[in-house]
A and B are shown apart, each in its own frame.
Chain A
Amino acid sequence: MGIFQNLSERIANVFEKMKNKGRLTELEIKQAMREIRIALLEADVNYAVVKSFIQSVSEKALHEEILKSLTPAQQVVKIVNEELTDLMGTKNAKLAVASNPPTIIMMCGLQGAGKTTMCGKLAGMLKKQGKNVLLCACDIYRPAAITQLQVVGKKAGVEVFEKGQIAPVKIAKEAIKYANKNAFDTVIVDTAGRLHIDEQLMDELVELKKELKPHEILLVVDSMTGQDAVTVADTFNKTLDITGVVLTKLDGDTRGGAALSIRAVTSKPIKFSGIGEKLEDIEAFHPDRMASRILGMGDVLTLIEKAESAFNEEDAKNLQKKLKQNSFTLEDYLEQLENMKKMGNLSNVLNMIPGMSNKLKGVDTEVDEKKIKHTKAIIQSMTVKERRNPDIIKASQRKRIAKGSGTSIQEVNQLLKQFEMSKTMMSRMAKNKGKLPF
């Protein structure tokens, strides 16, 4: 959030400083790499992983074409993004299916990662795909863990097998017997959270694996995990030879660099992500989205496409002129707003702009028909002088304008605030010749 300056902006700044000196040099690329390094570290990508990533990107970035390019910042960001997407792997949400059912899926991970919730989500998802799922409760340690799985199972509409707090290996053995007898084709085994350095409990997982012979061993990892993600993932992988990873709590605002670290040390696919507390809040993992999320770029590519289709070149030129002469008025603003409407919800659009999301805190940016109507009414209730120079609008005028437009003073205030913001944003765009600020 607030503390993260956007990567694209940073790289643009590096290049901005050199602008008048003509072509880029190796030194400048190096400086750009330093910014990329900071961005990745801020996103919690592991220190060592960042090091090798930067090395490989540097090599690519030092190619002639980029040094000569008119838009080196874009080129560099593009390379980084591509490289990162590549590293994140391809979309691979498929789960193994046993030729001789039941398919057995074993979940594992640290305490509090979200295993039990994920068990329920997977069960719900597989049930929808027509599978006959049995959940198996092997967390005998955490208070009420079994009850939690029972509640989750009930919500998903699948049966939960439990034997109270006896040895997990015994529970697992009986669960498989039970599944065979009752024609379940899938068994999902919930295990207790444990530290990767807890030898006794790691041994328990090894025993479980021996007994169950699972077709999938999924490591559940909290997407907010920091530098230690490599140690955790590496240990679990070396101990159990996991088949895949599930990333949870991605509905938060973490940049999720752990995803990259885990890929780097295990090279196992990330299969699913958890995106909320409800049963349906599971989706296939999107490597490409993860890449730009880690870089903190927002969905820049989508934004460029949208902006290009909403503004034609002439509009952009006019706007640029006005901004240069500082004559961008509330009337222009209204017009821009109509354009924005074509691009979709304003907050989505603004959030896609690098560095913008943190400035939006507490500002209502929802654009809908009704709002535009109100905005129109407010602007029309202003005098021409006020429209051209909103700075002269003081408290008493605000009152009058609100009354005249049938809105509230708050709404008038909000509009003026939004106007200022848009102006800032647009002048940034103007500075970049109608292009987005990077």
Chain B
Amino acid sequence: MGFFAKISSGLKKTKEAIKRRLFEAFSMKELDDEFFDELEEALITADVGIDATETLLERLRDEIYENRITKPDDARELFKKILIESIDFEIEDFSYPLVILLSGVNGVGKTTAIGKLANMFKLQGKSVVVAAADTFRAAASEQLEVWGERAGVRVVHHGEGSDPAAVVFDAIASAKARGTDVVLIDTAGRLHNKKNLMEELKKICRVVARELPDADFRKYIVLDATTGQNAVSQAEVFSEDIDVDGIILTKLDGTAKGGVVIAIAEQLSLPVLYVGVGEKIDDLIPFDANDFIDVLLDEE
């Protein structure tokens, strides 16, 4: 509910929102080429990408045929169902001790999401420590420290240019010593085509696996909803390199729809766990496939 309310309030502000296109498509009289063209346009404009769009429309065509549907209006519920199914995943509950690592390219919102997650766990009564493993970007650990203060959690950091794996090691040592429930790891933004930086990330993961072999270790990739088809490439490579468990989709308070996560779900079966809908500490919401598709289809 909160998710939907926040996003739709953002949407209302835009004149350009993917509009009523889908609505228009569905209120047409016939299931002709024009109908499918309208659907195609709506999906592509939402960054679903041409490949996934074609797959989804193919699926819709099949079901329309199988169910002998002749009216666009009836196709609407069907299409919604197809879309929801494509991104609805069963997610295993967390167990503790829990380690969450956030990865992703530069500027997508990793550090902010760490702050929001810290706050979320804190509110659930868990103890939290954050590892400032972005030792590269200017003022990254200062930024994280502000978030640590806001959430009221400890932040472990070393100096700029130090070894990120060592920061993680220390944070875990501290968590072990104090019996902390949750370790959150903020990493430096890195483009997935930079091999040495991806190696660094693997090393961090090895440290976690070695130091806390029995912990629940989740690795998420943070994606910016404004990103286009390159997000598929990002998810693909991060998954290959560190076996990502899921996605945090940020900046959904803008006008971009983040439809690329549908392409990613189709191709890599990666679920979205949380969405970011603003810059405040409580602007992180568990992902809900129904709401997401409602917003994508611009329905209320």
Which of A's residues lie within 8 Å of B, judged by CB?
1-3, 38, 41-44, 46-47, 110-114, 116, 141-145, 147-148, 150-152, 155, 195-197, 199, 222, 224-229, 231-232, 234, 249, 251-255, 257-258, 277
Contacts and interface: CB of A to CB of B under 8 A. Distances in A.
Given A41-B44, A144-B146, A112 B107 contact: yes
Query: Contact residue range for chain B?
Result: 35 or more
A226 B227 contact: yes
B192 interface: yes
Given A3-B51, A224-B228, A225-B227, A114 B44 contact: no
B51 A224 contact: no
Please indicate which of the listed interface residues B47, B138, B160, B236 has the most CB atoms of chain A within 10 Å of its own CB.
Answer: B138
B255 interface: yes
Please indicate which of the listed interface residues A38, A113, A143, A148 has the most CB atoms of chain B within 10 Å of its own CB.
Answer: A143
Contact of B44 (A43, A47, A231): A47
Nearest to A253: B193
A147 B142 contact: yes
A142 B143 contact: yes
A241 to B, nearest CB: 19
23 contacts: A38-B50, A41-B44, A42-B229, A47-B45, A110-B251, A111-B251, A112-B106, A143-B142, A144-B143, A147-B143, A148-B138, A195-B254, A195-B255, A222-B107, A227-B256, A228-B257, A231-B255, A232-B255, A249-B105, A249-B106, A254-B230, A255-B230, A258-B228
Interface in B177-196: 191-194
B224 interface: yes
A145 B112 CA distance: 13
B47 A227 contact: yes
B271 interface: no
A66 B53 CA distance: 32
B107 A197 contact: no
Contacts of B51: 3, 42
Nearest to B237: A1
Nearest to A45: B228
Interface stretch (B8-16, B72-80, B168-176): B8-16
A358 to B, nearest CB: 10
Please indicate which of the listed interface residues A224, A231, A232, A251 has the most CB atoms of chain B within 10 Å of its own CB.
Answer: A224
Please indicate which of the listed interface residues B10, B226, B254 has the most CB atoms of chain A within 10 Å of its own CB.
Answer: B226
A225 B140 CA distance: 23
Contacts of A116: 138
A144 B279 contact: no
Given A111-B107, A251-B191, A257 B228 contact: yes
A38 B50 CA distance: 7
Contacts of B192: 252-253
B106 A144 contact: no
B17 to A, nearest CB: 9
B246 interface: no
Contacts of A142: 143, 279
B162 interface: no
B37 to A, nearest CB: 11
